Each structure stands twice: as C-alpha cells, then as structure tokens.
Amino acid sequence: MGVMIQRIYRYHDGRYKVTKMLPNAPKMLAEEPDSNEIVSAVEKPFEKLRNNVIRAAGSIQSLGLCNPWDWFATFTLDKKKYPDRLALDSFRQDLTRFIRHIRQKYPNYTCAFLLVPELHQDAKGWHMHGLLRDFPADLLRLFTLEEKLPYYIRNKLQDGQPVYDFPAYREKFGFCDIEPLREKDAAVGYLTKYVIKGLNATGKHLEKGKHLFFVSRGLQRPQLVEEKEVESTPGLAKTEMLSDLELDGLIPCFPQVIKAEVDGVERIFGEICWYELAPFGIIPSEVS
C-alpha cells in the first residue's frame, strides 16, 4: 500500500484506538473509520444520508466510549400527551428544555445525555434510546411487579434487575424506562445500530434535515495523541507509542480492515486496532 497515515486516539487511560489509513482514503473513512462496514449498504440516491449516518455512528461511538454513564434509557411519546408523535424537532426541543429545567432545579447535577431517535415500526411516531449521567436519583421510581408493565420489564424485575420509571417525564411526554448501565460497550453498540436504521425505515424522515442524535454539551471526545507517516507492513507498524502502551499492560485486540466501495469496486484503505487492558469486553467497532 505504500506510505500510510497512522493515528493513535486516546479514549481513556485503559483504551486507545490506532488507525492506519492511505492518504487518499475517502474523507468519511478518515474521519470516522469505525463506521466503514456500512459504506456500501445503500443505493446511490441515499449517498448524502449514508455519509451523514456514517459520521453520526462514529460520533456516537466516540462520545459513548469516552464518557462515564449511569443509565440506559428509552423515552416514548403518548399521543394523548404529545399528539404529534412525528414532530421530532419539537420532541427534541421540548425534551432538552425539560432536562434544562432539571439542571436549574438541581444545580449540582450535570444531567448529561446522549440520545438517538428511532422511528416506530408503524412509522407513526418517534421514541429515543440513550445514555444518561448524573441525574438526581430522587427523580426516579423503581417499577414493581404489582404494576401493569410490559413483559420485558416484568421479566427483568423477576430476574432481580431494577428498572425505573421517570414520573416527571411520563406525566409530560409518555412512558419511559431507565435501567442502571451494565455493559457500556454493548449499550454504545446498540446506539450505533439504532442510528444506522436511519438508512432503512427512518431514512425518508432523517433525509429531511432531522437530527441523527442529540447530545449535551461538555462531553469528552477521543484525543489524538500521535499522527505520523509509516511504511505499510502487514499489521500495524510498531512505534514507540505502541510499545509504551503494551508496557502499560494494554494489548492489541479487534483488528479490522477499513474498506469501501468506490465506483462499484470494493477497495481496502487501511486498518484499525484497539489497545486496551485485559481482560477486555466487546468493542462496538464493527457496526452493522
């Protein structure tokens, strides 16, 4: 492949991402190479939407992995309380205003969020999935088996897994459920897949300027700690930086080829490898 650009991104002390890219790689791959698996997933008329989804999926992954989170949440809309369930922009504005009021009432809490909208299967309304951090615990109420609840919540309660109601949200918007975050990597992987659904059922709505995800200010993003040209060799070229990571106990894992379809021909443009502490869990670097 010749000379390539190697970049090392720090996600936090226990996780780094190393990319090695050809200088002529498509811009979308160079910016968000984790999302390359969906580059050729749709037809040409959807190219602009596809590129937006690729970038959004990469941003969601970066924001999800770089920040601590407390909760995984699902927010729905009740047509009796929010009649226009397809008004995504209004839903976003009203929900962020709702969260802002909580911050004003509880100034010691940041109430950080990362939310991804998803269209219902019947295409008659939106709901949101997302990650929350530093919300006042007294705003939540534990569901109990004495209530009339969806089966998936009842099953979790029966298994001893707590699931919470958010009464203030429910009274204003509709049903929601909030769970303590158990596996951050898996949850971030779910969110990237939700936004990728924008290439399918939700695409016609997202194409009209709808936001692909919503995020609070002040969140951490990956830090570029090294960028240099390297001669291409099988596997990632060893540098002093990578050797230092291994000395600190990090190990390379989840190598992935970066490829994309150009003019109907699939080409390889580089590769990714994660460095993290062992034992390691699932890295959502292969979004599909």
Residue 130 in domain: yes
Q: What is the pLDDT of residue 283?
A: 44
If pLDDT is split at 50, 70 and 90, which confidence band does 173 have? very high
Same domain, 153 and 83: yes
**Span 108-167, pLDDT tens digits:** 999 999 999 888 877 788 899 999 999 999 999 999 999 999 999 999 999 999 999 999
Edge to edge, the sheet with strand 250-262 lists 223-231, 3-12, 15-21, 265-277, 250-262
Same domain, 161 and 75: yes
Q: Count the Cβ atoms, other than its own, within 10 Å of residue 15.
A: 19
**Span 237-286, pLDDT tens digits:** 667 777 788 777 888 888 888 877 777 777 888 888 888 876 544 444 43
3-state DSSP assignment of residue 253: strand
Residue 39 in domain: yes
Where in the sequence is the domain holding 267, given as residue range(s)? 3-66+220-277
**Span 181-220, pLDDT tens digits:** 999 989 998 898 877 765 555 555 555 555 678 999 999 9
Q: How many domains would you assign to the chain? A: 2
Residue 282 in domain: no
Q: What is the pLDDT of residue 287?
A: 33
Q: What is the pLDDT of residue 48?
A: 63
CA 41 – CA 203 distance, rounded (Å): 13
